[in-house]
């Protein structure tokens, strides 16, 4: 029996998923594992369709690799709500929610979508073995039954694509304009907060760099009639969900490590107004961790 059109569609979709997970890198540039996975998918699907009995043992072996340590998904091609577990960096006690702003971003998206999930703060010693073996232990990691996704942007886009209410992606051109405005913000924050000693010439240069990025965001926000980042600012989007935790880290870090060397409220009033509004959003407040956890995280970074 010949493979059906559904078989080809499945293989095509798996290739597209692999490319999306690798941020659009074309097939020749995929990792060896990704290519092997595609070949195993094709071989397993072909054997299942053509001779399901004769090759059942081989198919089972292939599926163990193909499923990357996860159980076989029982529903159809479209993911359904439920069965979600989010693995994130743990806090100082190894059990509480840690300070990762990228995990916070994903949790905001999950909250905005009204999706139920379990959160599993994990250390290097408490991560599940399948996450280490097949995903290099990368977190945040969203396990949705059989599937697992890492990288906060990939997870957020997965959630927004398959669970569309409310929609959190604006028009591409408007999202691109916003991305250009906020590009480089968190790297600038991280370099400034991590730098020691505070107040030297390098510190002043890093401060100036962060102020430059904040100036860009200030200009972008000043052009909006609404409180948010994209388009006219009327709608909350993934860009807001991503930026809010990073602004929180900046606010705490400036106060605790830099003696408020950048006065956001005076120098960047539109940014301050945006922070006040976004920090008051339920999805932000209900997924927030203590300031002390942020201080703990950056203190460790400043020592390394």
Residues annotated as catalytic (active site), given as ranges: 100
Q: What six digits make up the tokens of 88?
A: 């994130």
How many angstroms separate the Cα of 109 from the Cα of each of 68, 113, 178, 303? 25, 6, 18, 32
Distance, in Å, from the CA atom of 65 to the CA atom of 161, rounded to the nearest integer, reads 27
**Cβ(297)–Cβ(245) below 8 Å:** no
Burial category of 48 from C-beta neighbours within 10 Å (exposed 0-12, middle 13-18, buried 19 and up): middle
Q: What six digits make up the tokens of 69?
A: 């340590």
DSSP class of 3: P
Distance, in Å, from the CA atom of 304 to the CA atom of 300, rounded to the nearest integer, reads 7
Distance, in Å, from the CA atom of 247 to the CA atom of 63, rounded to the nearest integer, reads 43
Q: Where are the alpha helices (DSSP H) in 88-184?
A: 101-113, 129-135, 152-162, 172-182
Distance, in Å, from the CA atom of 242 to the CA atom of 235, rounded to the nearest integer, reads 14
The Cα diameter of the chain in Å comes to 74
**Cβ(51)–Cβ(133) below 8 Å:** no
Residue with tokens 């669970």: 163
Q: What six digits make up the tokens of 248?
A: 């929180």
Q: What six digits make up the tokens of 204?
A: 């002043």
The full DSSP string for 40-73 is HHHHHHHHHHH-TTTTHHHHHHHHHHHTTTSPPP
């Amino acid at each position: 029996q010949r493979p059906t059109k559904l078989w080809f569609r499945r293989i095509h979709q798996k290739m597209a998923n692999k490319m999306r997970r690798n941020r659009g890198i074309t097939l020749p540039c995929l990792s060896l594992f990704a290519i092997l996975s595609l070949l195993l998918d094709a071989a397993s699907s072909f054997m299942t369709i053509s001779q399901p009995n004769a090759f059942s043992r081989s198919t089972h072996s292939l599926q163990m690799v193909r499923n990357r340590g996860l159980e076989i998904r029982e529903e159809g091609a479209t993911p359904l709500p439920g069965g979600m577990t989010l693995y994130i960096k743990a806090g100082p006690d190894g059990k509480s929610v840690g300070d990762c702003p990228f995990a916070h971003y994903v949790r905001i998206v999950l909250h905005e979508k009204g999706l139920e999930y379990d959160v599993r703060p994990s250390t290097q010693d408490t991560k599940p073995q399948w996450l280490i073996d097949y995903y290099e232990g990368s977190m945040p990691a969203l396990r949705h039954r059989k599937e697992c996704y890492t990288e906060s942007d990939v997870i957020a886009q997965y959630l927004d694509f398959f669970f569309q209410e409310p929609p959190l992606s604006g028009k591409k051109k408007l999202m691109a304009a916003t991305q250009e405005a906020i590009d480089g913000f968190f790297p600038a924050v991280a370099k400034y907060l991590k730098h020691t000693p505070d107040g030297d010439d390098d510190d002043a240069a890093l401060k100036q760099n962060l102020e430059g990025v904040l100036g860009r965001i200030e200009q972008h926000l000043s052009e909006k009639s609404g409180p948010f980042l994209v388009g006219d600012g009327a709608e909350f989007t993934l860009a807001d969900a991503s930026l809010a935790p990073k602004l929180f880290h900046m606010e705490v870090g400036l106060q605790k490590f830099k003696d408020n060397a950048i006065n956001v409220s005076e120098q960047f009033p539109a940014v301050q107004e945006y922070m006040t509004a976004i920090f008051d959003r339920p999805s932000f407040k209900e997924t927030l961790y203590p300031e002390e956890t942020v201080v703990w995280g950056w203190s460790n970074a400043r020592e390394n």
